Every structure is written in C-alpha cells, then in structure tokens.
Amino acid sequence: LLLPCLLLVLLLLAPALPAPQGRGLIINLEAGELCLQSIQCKSGCCQREGVLSLARCAPKAAEFQVCSPKSIYNVYYKCPCESGLTCDADRTIVGSITNTNHGVCIDPRSTDKR
C-alpha cells in the first residue's frame, strides 16, 4: 500500500518540479504571478494594490516613478527603486504604519532632481 501511494505522490509532484531555466513554483516568479514575499520574485518586489488584494510580483520602480522605501514586511504597495536609485520618501515610523511613506525614485548622482 505504501509503494503505490509513493508512486502516486511522485507522479502528482512531477509537474511541480522546477523547469530547466530555474523557474519554480515558489521562487524566480515572473511579473504578475502571485507571491507572499519579495524574495520569491525575480524582480525582488512583491506588490499588493490594497489591504485585501492578493500580492503579485511586479517590476521595481524606475527613475521618477512612485516608490516605497525598503520594508521589513517584504510586501509593498509601491515597489522599491531599481538598483542605483534611492526612494526619496517619508521614512518615519508613522509613515510606515499609515502607508504614506511613498516617494519618488531619484538617482543620487544626478543633478537633475525635477
């Protein structure tokens, strides 16, 4: 009885194994796929639209786009900035709690701050 059950489990799990390019069911997720934490997403951003919405992988914010500073929660309402950019936002505890800590991605090396 144990051997047939084990074979059945292996057959059911076979499609869940990662594809050759490294994409899996819980890591290396593409934009638009459901996620629980940003570490699961290729982009590094797991974003939700509202309190009751499901979180999905999304691209990081580009220069002059709305962003959130890095969060300990690892799920964002606005994605953090792409590499090399900083999020010019409210970094207070109150801003984090009330979800008003959104800002704009800027290049700290740029003289054009718009």
pLDDT for the residue 4 = 55
Assess if residue 84 is contained within a domain. yes
Assess if residue 51 is contained within a domain. yes
Total number of domains in the chain: 1
Segments forming the whole domain that contains residue 74: 27-106
pLDDT at residue 17 above 60?
Answer: no
Q: What is the pTM of this model?
A: 0.69
Give the Cα separation of 69 and 84 in Å (integer).
Answer: 13
pLDDT for the residue 99 = 64
Assess if residue 42 is contained within a domain. yes
CATH number for the domain including 65? 2.10.80.10
